């Protein structure tokens, strides 16, 4: 069964905690990004984890020099279970984050994921990202990252990237508001992979019901 990851891109603390709590029975992980963290602070990661007992991934798409990446990862992984980074800035920048993740794992005994973007789900990704996405997938495999990001909006690309990375788990955005075809994606992804759904859940008048619906659909896969 493919797992469900909620992209919780709201900007109000009370709303975020409410939606996280209401949907926690149906999601396997929660992804938060800059909109929520910049609005209310990084402590929201711990609050969501404490309330839901779910894995929380910070989608910061970190893309800086190694020393800066280390600082960002050190702050983030104090709370989060994982962090998303870009690979186009080079292997050294990804390795810098992996180094911090390994340090936290040794200190706490808890797995810290470093997830690398290959190709994003929005239309503009075909301009500059898609031409190098296969190479980025090869880098992800070489570095043995904890996971990669690949698009549900372009199933043919998702399939090509999955064939490159092999057993590395994929988290795949684009289902719901972006129009990705869930059936096509479920024919590609496996039990260690995640479908990411955001607005179709958190903007729904009943987020719990929407999350439940997606959970049922994934259970049929």
The residues assigned a catalytic role are: 61
CB burial of residue 124 (10 Å; 0-12, 13-18, 19+): exposed
In angstroms, what CA-CA distances link 103 with 49, 78, 80, 109, 156?
A: 21, 11, 14, 10, 37
Query: Do the beta carbons of residue 191 and residue 2 sit within 8 Å?
Result: yes
Closest CA to 27 of 56, 6, 12, 45: 6
The most distant pair of C-alpha atoms in the chain lies apart, rounded to whole Å, by 44
């Amino acid at each position: 069964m493919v797992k469900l990851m909620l992209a919780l891109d709201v900007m109000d603390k009370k709303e975020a905690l409410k939606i996280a709590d209401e949907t926690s029975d149906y999601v396997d992980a929660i992804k938060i990004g800059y909109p929520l963290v910049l609005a209310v602070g990084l402590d929201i990661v711990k609050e969501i984890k404490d309330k839901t007992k779910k894995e929380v991934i910070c989608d910061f798409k970190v893309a800086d020099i190694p020393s800066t990446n280390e600082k960002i990862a050190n702050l983030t992984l104090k709370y989060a279970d994982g962090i998303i980074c870009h690979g186009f800035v080079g292997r050294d920048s990804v390795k810098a984050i992996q180094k911090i993740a390994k340090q936290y794992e040794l200190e706490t005994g808890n797995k810290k994921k470093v997830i690398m973007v290959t190709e994003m789900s929005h239309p503009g990704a075909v301009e500059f990202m898609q031409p190098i996405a296969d190479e980025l997938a090869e880098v992800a495999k070489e570095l043995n990252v904890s996971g990669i990001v690949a698009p549900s909006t372009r199933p043919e690309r998702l399939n090509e990237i999955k064939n490159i990375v092999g057993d590395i788990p994929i988290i795949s955005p684009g289902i719901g508001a972006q129009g990705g075809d869930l059936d096509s994606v479920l024919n590609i992804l496996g039990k260690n992979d995640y479908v990411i759904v955001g607005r179709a859940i958190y903007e729904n008048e009943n987020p719990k019901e929407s999350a439940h619906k997606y959970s049922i659909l994934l259970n049929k896969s």
